[in-house]
């Protein structure tokens, strides 16, 4: 496909059927017992829906520990219909008539393992699937060493999807470090980017807050992050940072958690996006004559269709 620059005319977001709603971020503890994790997630999503949330977001790798050694044994075949984790989310989504950004789980497919997020609509159907695009590789001697690519295969397709609560772009954790992905979602009309995540103590303290605010402010949209809860007694070397948050288009923290188990509920008012973009028309001021975002998967610059 031809590489095409994004035109400013593709930047206005579409309408959602609900423009003001509650979003819940379920910051869940995770144990090595999958059934327990699924039961806890079910109870947490159910309680969030009962509290009025119409969008519920789960963490990165919520159904098993985020441990490169043991992840493969928890893999589920989503396309083959052998996924107890996604079946549970589908059941609640349709019973409660909510949209769920289902965090991520290890997905087995064609002999490979992906770190995969499913977006599920109020009919219980999977509306989009995002396989983590940027695998986390870090080596700080004496501090933290981790290579996701020893375990996971990277995804190939950014996922942006139209839902009852707006157009949502998906990234998984380390994907947040790549501003071009967020810019791409904005150019395709996203209102909100959800990043199920599992940041660690080393980079979390320094960068977590900064990166989510940056993605929101640069693109004048809402950002949601959802992390597992920290387990201070965990034997794993990988200690979770926590601090799931809802960030507004001005970079304001609308709702946030500490590091323990929590369900954070905040309000998203999509009308704010239009006001902020009118008040501060960054896309009009962008110097397309000097630099451009290139959408390598699009055939025409005016194509603003959703890729889901």
Ligand X SMILES: NC(=O)CCC(=O)C(=O)O
Binding interface with ligand X (CB under 6 A): 60, 136, 173-174, 177, 198-200, 203
- Smaller CB separation from ligand X, 89 or 173: 173
What are the φ and ψ backbone dihedral angles of 180, each rounded to 5 degrees?
-65, -35
SS3 110: coil
Q: Cβ neighbours of residue 77 under 8 Å, at least 6 residues apart?
A: 83, 107, 108, 109
User: Smallest distance, Å, CB 186 to ligand X?
Assistant: 21
115 exposure class (CB count in 10 Å sphere: 0-12, 13-18, 19+): buried
User: Smallest distance, Å, CB 257 to ligand X?
Assistant: 17
User: Smallest distance, Å, CB 285 to ligand X?
Assistant: 30
Q: How far apart are CA 175 and CA 56, in angstroms?
A: 20
Q: Helices 84-96 and 34-50: crossing angle, nearest 10°?
A: 10
Q: Helices 209-219 and 179-187: crossing angle, nearest 10°?
A: 30
Q: What is the dihedral of CA 146, 114, 93, 46, to 10 degrees?
A: -30
Q: For residue 165, which of 265, 214, 97 has the smallest C-alpha distance?
A: 97
Residues with a catalytic annotation lie at 60, 132, 173
- Smaller CB separation from ligand X, 97 or 177: 177
User: Smallest distance, Å, CB 197 to ligand X?
Assistant: 6
What does the buried/exposed string (b/e) look like for 14-40 if buried means 16 or more CB atoms within 10 Å of the residue's CB?
A: eebeebebbbbbbbbbbeeebeebbeb
User: Smallest distance, Å, CB 5 to ligand X?
Assistant: 28
- Smaller CB separation from ligand X, 112 or 205: 205
């Amino acid at each position: 496909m031809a590489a095409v620059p994004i035109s400013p005319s593709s930047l206005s977001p579409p309408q959602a059927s609900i423009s003001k709603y509650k979003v819940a971020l379920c910051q869940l503890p995770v144990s090595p017992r999958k059934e327990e994790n699924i039961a806890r997630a079910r109870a947490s999503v159910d309680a969030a829906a009962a509290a009025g949330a119409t969008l519920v977001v789960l963490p990165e790798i919520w159904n098993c520990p985020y441990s490169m050694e043991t992840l493969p044994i928890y893999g589920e075949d989503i396309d083959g219909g052998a996924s107890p984790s996604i079946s549970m989310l589908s059941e609640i989504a349709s019973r409660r008539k909510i949209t769920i950004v289902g965090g991520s789980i290890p997905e087995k497919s064609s002999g490979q393992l992906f770190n995969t997020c499913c977006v599920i609509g109020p009919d219980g159907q999977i509306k989009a699937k995002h396989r983590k695009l940027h695998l986390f590789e870090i080596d700080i001697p004496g501090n933290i060493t981790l290579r996701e690519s020893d375990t996971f295969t990277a995804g190939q397709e950014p996922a942006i999807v139209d839902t009852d609560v707006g157009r949502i772009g998906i990234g998984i954790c380390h994907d947040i470090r790549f501003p071009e992905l967020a810019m791409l979602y904005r150019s395709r009309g996203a209102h909100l980017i959800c990043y199920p995540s599992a940041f660690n103590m080393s980079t979390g303290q320094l960068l977590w807050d900064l990166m989510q605010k940056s993605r929101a402010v640069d693109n004048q949209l809402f950002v949601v992050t959802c992390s597992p809860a920290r387990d201070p007694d965990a034997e794993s070397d990988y200690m979770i940072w926590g601090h799931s948050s809802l960030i507004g288009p001005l970079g304001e923290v609308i709702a946030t958690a500490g590091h323990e188990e929590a369900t954070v509920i905040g309000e998203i008012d999509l009308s704010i996006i239009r006001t902020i973009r009118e008040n501060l028309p960054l896309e009009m001021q962008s110097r397309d004559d000097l630099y451009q975002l290139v959408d390598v998967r699009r055939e025409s610059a005016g194509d603003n269709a959703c890729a889901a």
